[in-house]
Amino acid sequence: MASRFKYNTSQLFNFAQDSYLERTSRPIYAMLFLLPFIVFYEMGTILSTTDALSRTQDRVVAFIWLQSFLDKYLGLDTKLAWAAPPVAVVVILLGLQLASRKPWQFCAADFGPMMVECILLAVPLIVLSLFLSGAADPTGKVVEPGYATVHTQAETLAGWPAAVGGATSPMAAATKDGEPGSKSLLADVVTGIGAGIYEELIFRLILMCLLMILLQDLMGLSHSGSITLSVLVSAALFSAHHHIIFVNGQFASSSPFSWREFSFRTIAGVYFALLFAVRGFGITAGTHAFYDIMATLINATFFQY
């Protein structure tokens, strides 16, 4: 029985014990590596005075999903609800660390190379996005409470086709009345970090593990077949999520459907899923966050006019 469950949350490859690849794949490393990103996202969202962030606390959709789920089953106080998702990330990673029975020791010198690794792993997606449309597009998506519209952060500006879809440029967002409003570069960076953490938590760490349990343990599919289907299903849902989302009990269209955009996001989903299977949650979430940040900076620097 134990052998049936040993692959559910483990990685695709086993690296040499206590090597850099093995150490940095541990959940404890993921938690410590991502903690500054989580704090930056929360502080940036709550305390920033920019229009895009101070207005009723715009939030990444995956963050809203997690917050709503925890509120439904835990009955959180509204003043503390914002803290539930970041705490959940820490608790989940601590639980996985306990379940993995891997060493708790960590080397602070590994965090610098981890950041460099994430940046390098984000480059192929940037190149692919530029190749497809001539501009890069982050995948961050936010919901503005009280607004009927849902928009993506940092699409390309007028005159440039969108690489992966969206509704607004990196420096302008739709207001409640549909008129352009100011949006700071910081808002896009903060959103990109949030998307990297919470979208990877939902679509890779949680969804892929549940799919592996369903396909391998309950349906009896082979390990390789279960991994293949888990990767494809999670990637397809990740891509579809950027066109049609479910928030507050109803579906909403966030960007017009395009096969090019859907295909790119599916490829990105497959890339992140494979990266998660090989390198674990920390590197995958970091790579996603740095991809969004790099795409935002490229758009703001080269495609403003």
Tell me the average pLDDT across 29-34.
96
Average of pLDDT values for 146-165? 32
> Mean of the per-residue pLDDT values for the chain?
75
Q: How far apart are CA 283 and CA 53, in angstroms?
A: 26
Q: How far apart are CA 219 and CA 148, in angstroms?
A: 40
At residue 5 the predicted structure's pLDDT band, cuts being 50, 70 and 90, is very low
Q: 282 or 148, which is more confident?
A: 282
> Once rounded to an integer, what is the mean pLDDT over residues 267-273?
94
Model confidence at 57: pLDDT above 80 = no
Q: How far is CA 67 from the centre of its chain?
A: 15
More confident residue, 63 or 219: 219
For residue 250, report the phi and psi dihedrals to the nearest 5 degrees.
-145, 155
Q: Closest Cα to residue 42, out of 87, 78, 74, 75?
A: 87
DSSP 3-state assignment of 132? helix
Q: How confident is the model at residue 155 (pLDDT cuts 50, 70, 90)?
A: very low
Q: What is the pTM of this model?
A: 0.78
Residue indicated by tokens 């969004």: 292
**76 pLDDT band (50/70/90 cuts)?**
low
Residue 31 pLDDT greater than 80, yes or no: yes
Residues 95-102 have a mean pLDDT of 92
C-alpha span between 158 and 108 (Å, rounded): 44
d(CA 268, CA 271): 5
> What is the average per-residue pLDDT within 243-254?
66
C-alpha–C-alpha distance, residues 146 and 3, integer Å: 48
141: part of which helix (H) or strand (E)?
strand 141-143
pLDDT in tens, 136-148: 555 555 444 333 3
Contacts 24+ apart (CB under 8 A), 176-183: 176/144, 176/146, 176/147, 178/149, 181/51, 181/52, 182/50, 182/51, 182/52, 183/50, 183/51, 183/52
Query: What average pLDDT score do residues 49-57 get?
Result: 43
- In the structure, what pLDDT confidence band is assigned to residue 284 with cuts at 50, 70 and 90? very high
Q: Scanning the structure block, which residue is given the tokens 């549940």?
A: 210
CA distances from 36 to 86, 87, 253 (A): 11, 13, 32
Residue 85 has pLDDT above 60, yes or no: yes
